[in-house]
Structure 1
Amino acid sequence: MRHAWYVTFEVQHRGMLPKPRHPRLTKTFETETEAKLFAKEKLDEGLVVTAGTLNPHAPKQIIPSSAMSIWLGGVQDQSAEGSNNLDD
């Protein structure tokens, strides 16, 4: 099976840089569930996370950081009791 999903997250760079930078790393996954679990871990670390599908996966999906909590709704429900269910 080919990797169909990606999660991109901030890398907290330590040190003195002449200009502020926001370096990012990307990790790929075979399934959406794997991508969601990894994205939740990075969000729990306080990092900015985005995700989506890789070409040629169709339909193309892009999940911006502003929509991450909605995309992770099911993962959050499974991992914490009493969390809000965000159904579409």
Structure 2
Amino acid sequence: MDIEQIRKRAQEIWEAEGRPEGQHERHWQQAEQELSGGGELPQTSSPAHHSATTIPEGRGKKKSDAVPSLGGEPGGFQPGELASKKK
């Protein structure tokens, strides 16, 4: 296993994760494992990266308030329905 190959792969992993600081040892170990045929799929992002993208409990489970469904009212539209079809 060539150290230059490990360095390049570790840098690719680092860049794919958005260049996080303080993760160089994990990136190096992951690169070594991948190049040695460790059998695991590469990790392309860290749990810390995903912590900012999780949906808080109770969110995302209700209909949108931004576009109310007016389909039952005269002249109302369902989301995605074209106004030209209601003429």
Whose helix proportion is higher, 1 or 2?
2
Whose strand proportion is higher, 1 or 2?
1
Pick 1 or 2: higher relative contact order, CA cutoff 8 A, min separation 6. 1
TM-score grouping bracket, smaller chain normalisation: under 0.3
TM-score under structure 1 length normalisation: 0.21
TM-score under structure 2 length normalisation: 0.21
Question: Larger Cα Rg: Structure 1 or Structure 2?
Answer: 2
